[in-house]
Amino acid sequence: MLWLWRNPACVVVGRGQKVHREVREDVCAQDGIPVLRRASGGGTVFHDRGNLNVSLVIPGPVDRPLEAIGSLMSAGVSRLGLPPRLGERGLFIGDAKLCGFAVFRTKTGLLAHSTLLISTPAERVGRYLTGPPPDPRPLDSHRSEVASLADHGLRVGLEGVTSAILAAAASQFGPLTTRKPDATERAWQRKLLTSRYHHTPWHTEGRQQDTPWTPQSA
């Protein structure tokens, strides 16, 4: 399953990260920028309408999870005319990161996702994220210079970027079709909204709320 989506302005931390180590909380509060937490690992990212998010769900065991999303994003960016370089947890144009990667594994499959900076200015990203800490820890973000497609001189809109990613996905996985979420997926959505994403301690501390619920009973 492939899902392309955008968020309004927000900061999103990785599953096990400490907000105070990653985020300029005072600046976010001043500007009304929410700080949220996702289920996957990886580093902290800034989202806004100038950033496209790409999520890929693959069933079964996946030996090289970052390569799955990396190859897709690399092919999509190549279609836009830029020479991408795969690096640690991201896609680079020269020394600047264009896409960041994160993954979440289960026993039955893999969720991998990527950001793709279309027009978001680097200074806007830097306004809300902290610099390298004096005491690095394993879960801290790997700080990198970032640059958008626009920064690289590529003035392409959302439609053009989306078309490139979809064409790369079709080439890699075969013909694409669209569908709506089924009843079980809607039930899981309600479960996750209750236990995590509408539960403030999830975002601030990574602590979810226990709910006596199963999707089969929804």
Any idea how long the chain is? 218
Check residues 148 and 105 and name the one with the higher pLDDT. 148
Q: Which residues contact 99 (CB under 8 A, 6 or more apart)?
A: 73, 77, 90, 91, 114, 115, 116, 117
For residue 46, the 8-state DSSP code is: E
pLDDT band (50, 70, 90) for residue 218? very low
Q: Are 13 and 182 in contact (CB under 8 A)?
A: no
Dig out the tokens for 117 from the structure: 């900076």
* Segments of the chain assigned to CATH 3.30.930.10: 2-178
Mean pLDDT within 169-193: 95
pLDDT band (50, 70, 90) for residue 213? low
Mean pLDDT within 104-119: 93
Dig out the tokens for 44 from the structure: 């902290």
Q: Are 139 and 44 in contact (CB under 8 A)?
A: no
Place of tokens 């039955």: 108
| Gap between the Cα atoms of 23 and 62, Å rounded | 32
- Fold observed for domain 2-178: BirA Bifunctional Protein; domain 2 (3.30.930)
Mean pLDDT within 45-61: 95
Q: What is the pLDDT of residues 94-105, one digit of tens each?
A: 999 999 999 998
pLDDT of 212 > 60? The answer is: no
Mean pLDDT within 20-42: 97
Q: Kindly report which listed range (17-31, 149-163, 204-218) carries the lowest average pLDDT score.
A: 204-218
